[in-house]
Amino acid sequence: MYKRSSRFALCVAAAAVLGTSACDSSDDSPSAAAPSASSAAPASPSSSPAKVRTLDGGMAKLYVRSVRKNYPDLDHISDDSLITYGNAICVARSTSAKAFGEQAKKTMQELGTTSTQTAQILGSADAFCR
């Protein structure tokens, strides 16, 4: 289970950096990669489609508990910051691959985390946004 979780986190980080779907399980389908996003700015939660799920209530608590349990090296980040950046990831993921990548970079810069730590935050948030 942990091997699968860490592999997922690495795929999410790669997708964030590359702006494409690095975790696609299809073989050599040309439509497997996520299409490039248009130059439009990422949508805010209020203007996003109704399918956008965010970390609120019980899901936010489970997300924070999961991060705290599985990634003790992230203990310097407050619960509120984890939820804020987790929600930003949820919204960016529903917008475009480009927005997701930009949000990943912003998260890493503003939280001062390594790429591995950022992947852990992104992977956990992505799992709980669904």
Q: What is the pLDDT of residues 17-53, one digit of tens each?
A: 444 444 444 344 334 433 333 333 344 444 444 567 7
Position 12 scores a pLDDT of 56
Length of the chain: 130
Q: Which helix (H) or strand (E) holds 11?
A: helix 2-18
Q: What is the pTM of this model?
A: 0.60
Residue 114 CA to residue 103 CA, distance in Å, equals 14
CB atoms under 10 Å from CB of 116, counted, come to: 13
The angle, 0 to 180 degrees and rounded to 10, between the axes of the packed helices 115-129 and 58-70 is 150
pLDDT < 50: residue spans in the chain? 17-49
Position 64 scores a pLDDT of 93
